[in-house]
């Protein structure tokens, strides 16, 4: 018997289409503003120009072939990879910090899945109409109108998806050149491949998968519950007020004014369903906090609109905390966890800022040759050999001369390169011999410094690097 029952239940669940109704309100306005800003940055940033002496004049350019990232006035070299670690830590702790205070703010307002889904729903609404019209269209049999409207929707979706993919590609090359190459078929395969991939993912994720991404694919939505506590802000329904003693009730005969309803024990929720209709993940906030909820706050806007029209006070659905709901006290902002996240954030920001502002504009490394560590020369002096590696990150040409500091009477032999010129971004390896007479010195080695003097730049300090000179007799 039980088996029969099981057999009737589907093993897999088809996605139930969600047709979010549009809503106007505070949070919707904030979301529109964030969306406009995010899209503005994403689509326009590759076109922003920035004067550079020896590189494309693109403000933000990730030059993989040249192994350099240009971010406005900053040039990031492979050696600066630690900044990426710092940036990722910053992003992670910012997420923890914000989530600790206000829950899934990232999900509801900033996540690209939310932003792009918002745009795709907007397209859907502009083409097919408001929620009832869309539901009707979905239900009606295939005909000319349906083909036209659905076709137009999908075409526009694909256009947005393509623009998204193309814009991403433009960050990796000089946009004005790349776009010409792109449409004349001369761009590298990676450009077309990336566009195709991102167009496909954008179209599928924002057009078709939508809330499935948040519910089933996103790891963040699953682990953020550990960052929640009693004081974390969540979107919730005031069930005491909404349900009253006899539950929610529609506006009906004898249940029109607030006084009538309170007399009848009915709550303030008129069960209009607006909060459910606007929800992009298709849940009913009145059932409490659910994993699908991305805290977009559109249900707050919906309920506020209804309450305003009834002339009742807002806040039946609102941002609140568990503590406020249970104890009636305001959420505490200064909690050990939040403060801890904040302090870590400050440390990361400070370390990153210090490191970025103290970027070495010139890299010099001095590696002593180990095999042989030293040789005796015909005049009795000892010779050590070194490899100098340098990288000019000053943005301009650099003329260098080298000196030995702290090794009295030593001779530095750089062959023809005692004076070298480095073009901007040029890397160079030089082989240096140092000849020195250690005389009666007992220990077998002496530390000294190699100094590179930028002779054409009076504004730059000489660069120094520690090295060691070795001779027989030591350890």
- Supply the minimum distance, in Å, between the C-beta of residue 286 and another protein: 8
Q: For residue 394, give the DSSP letter.
A: S
Which residue lies nearer to another protein by CB, 332 or 429? 429
Residue carrying the six token digits 């100094």: 451
**Whole-angstrom distance, CA of residue 58 vs CA of residue 73:** 10
H helices of 296-418, where?
298-310, 322-327, 336-357
- Supply the minimum distance, in Å, between the C-beta of residue 148 and another protein: 27
Q: Which of 232, 226, 221 is nearest to 319 (CA)?
A: 232
Tell me if residue 239 falls in helix, strand or coil: helix
- Supply the minimum distance, in Å, between the C-beta of residue 338 and another protein: 31
Which residue lies nearer to another protein by CB, 174 or 383? 383
Report whether 366 contacts 450 (CB < 8 A): yes
- Supply the minimum distance, in Å, between the C-beta of residue 368 and another protein: 12
- Supply the minimum distance, in Å, between the C-beta of residue 207 and another protein: 13
Supply 52's token pair. Answer: 């550079």
> How many CB atoms within 10 Å of residue 192?
14
**Whole-angstrom distance, CA of residue 71 vs CA of residue 73:** 6
Q: Which of 324, 432, 414 is nearest to 369 (CA)?
A: 432
Which residue lies nearer to another protein by CB, 87 or 216? 216
71: phi then psi, degrees, rounded to nearest 5? -125, 95
- Supply the minimum distance, in Å, between the C-beta of residue 449 and another protein: 21
Which residue lies nearer to another protein by CB, 1 or 334? 1
Supply 158's token pair. Answer: 């694909």
Tell me if residue 93 falls in helix, strand or coil: helix
- Supply the minimum distance, in Å, between the C-beta of residue 112 and another protein: 20
How far apart, in Å, are the Cα atoms of 376 and each of 437, 448, 449, 470? Answer: 10, 20, 22, 11
**Whole-angstrom distance, CA of residue 183 vs CA of residue 175:** 12
Q: Is 148 left (phi over 0), alpha (psi -120 to 50) or beta?
A: alpha
Adjacent-strand bridge partners of 398 = 422
Which residue lies nearer to another protein by CB, 416 or 458? 416
Q: Which positions touch another protein (CB under 8 A)?
A: 1-2, 5-6, 9-15, 209, 212, 216, 283-284, 287-288, 290, 369-372, 375-380, 383, 385, 413, 415-417, 420, 428-431, 433
Which residue lies nearer to another protein by CB, 167 or 394? 394
289: phi then psi, degrees, rounded to nearest 5? -70, 125
H helices of 103-174, where?
105, 112-128, 131-139, 144-170
Which residue lies nearer to another protein by CB, 143 or 378? 378
Which residue lies nearer to another protein by CB, 278 or 373? 373
Q: For residue 59, give the DSSP letter.
A: S
Which residue lies nearer to another protein by CB, 35 or 234? 234
**Whole-angstrom distance, CA of residue 11 vs CA of residue 30:** 40
Which residue lies nearer to another protein by CB, 1 or 226? 1
- Supply the minimum distance, in Å, between the C-beta of residue 43 and another protein: 29
**Whole-angstrom distance, CA of residue 278 vs CA of residue 242:** 18
Q: Which DSSP string do the residues of 371-416 spell out, in sequence order?
A: TTS-EE-TTS-EEEEEEEEEEE-SSS-EEEEEEEESSTT-EEE-TT
Report whether 161 contacts 202 (CB < 8 A): yes
- Supply the minimum distance, in Å, between the C-beta of residue 398 and another protein: 13
- Supply the minimum distance, in Å, between the C-beta of residue 454 and another protein: 16
Which residue lies nearer to another protein by CB, 194 or 383? 383
Q: What is the CA radius of gyration of the chain?
A: 33
- Supply the minimum distance, in Å, between the C-beta of residue 78 and another protein: 16
């Amino acid at each position: 018997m039980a088996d029969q029952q099981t057999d009737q239940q589907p093993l897999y669940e088809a996605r139930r289409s969600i047709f979010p109704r549009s809503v106007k309100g505070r949070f919707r306005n904030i979301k529109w503003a964030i969306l406009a800003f995010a899209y503005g940055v994403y689509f326009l940033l590759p076109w922003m120009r920035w004067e550079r002496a020896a590189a494309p004049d693109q403000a933000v350019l990730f030059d993989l072939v040249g192994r350099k990232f240009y971010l406005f006035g900053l040039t990031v070299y492979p050696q600066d990879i630690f900044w990426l670690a710092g940036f990722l830590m910053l992003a992670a702790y910012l997420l923890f910090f914000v989530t600790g205070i206000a829950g899934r703010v990232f999900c509801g307002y900033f996540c690209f899945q939310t932003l792009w889904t918002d745009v795709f729903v907007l397209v859907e609404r502009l083409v097919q109409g408001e929620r009832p019209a869309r539901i009707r269209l979905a239900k009606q049999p295939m005909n000319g109108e349906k083909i036209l409207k659905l076709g137009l929707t999908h075409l526009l979706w694909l256009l947005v998806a393509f623009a998204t993919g193309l814009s991403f590609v433009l960050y990796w090359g000089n946009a004005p050149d790349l776009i010409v190459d792109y449409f004349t078929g001369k761009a590298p395969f990676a450009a077309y491949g990336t566009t195709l991939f991102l167009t496909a993912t954008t179209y599928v994720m924002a057009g078709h998968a939508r809330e499935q991404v948040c519910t089933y694919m996103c790891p963040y939505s699953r682990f953020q519950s550990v960052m929640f506590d009693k004081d974390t802000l969540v979107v919730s329904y005031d069930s005491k007020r909404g349900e009253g003693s006899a539950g929610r009730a529609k506006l009906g005969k004898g249940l029109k004014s607030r006084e009538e309803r309170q007399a009848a024990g009915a709550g303030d929720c008129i069960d209009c369903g607006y909060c459910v209709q606007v929800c992009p993940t298709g849940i009913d906030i009145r059932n409490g906090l659910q994993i699908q909820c991305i805290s977009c706050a559109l249900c707050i806007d919906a309920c506020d609109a209804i309450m305003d029209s009834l002339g009742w006070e807002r806040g039946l659905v609102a941002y609140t905390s568990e503590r406020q709901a249970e104890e009636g006290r305001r959420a505490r902002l200064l909690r050990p966890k939040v403060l801890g996240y904040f302090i870590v954030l400050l440390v990361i920001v400070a370390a990153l800022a210090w490191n970025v502002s103290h970027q070495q504009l010139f890299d010099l490394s001095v590696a002593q040759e180990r095999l042989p560590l030293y040789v005796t020369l015909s005049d009795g002096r000892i010779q050590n050999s070194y490899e100098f590696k340098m990288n000019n990150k000053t943005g301009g040409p650099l003329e260098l001369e080298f000196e030995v500091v702290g090794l009295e009477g030593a001779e530095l032999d750089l062959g023809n390169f005692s004076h070298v010129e480095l073009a901007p971004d040029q890397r160079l390896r030089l082989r240096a011999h140092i000849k020195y007479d250690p005389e009666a010195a007992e220990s077998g080695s002496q530390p000294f410094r190699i100094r590179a003097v930028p002779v054409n730049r009076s504004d730059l300090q000489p660069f120094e690097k520690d090295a060691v000179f070795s001779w027989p007799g030591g350890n």
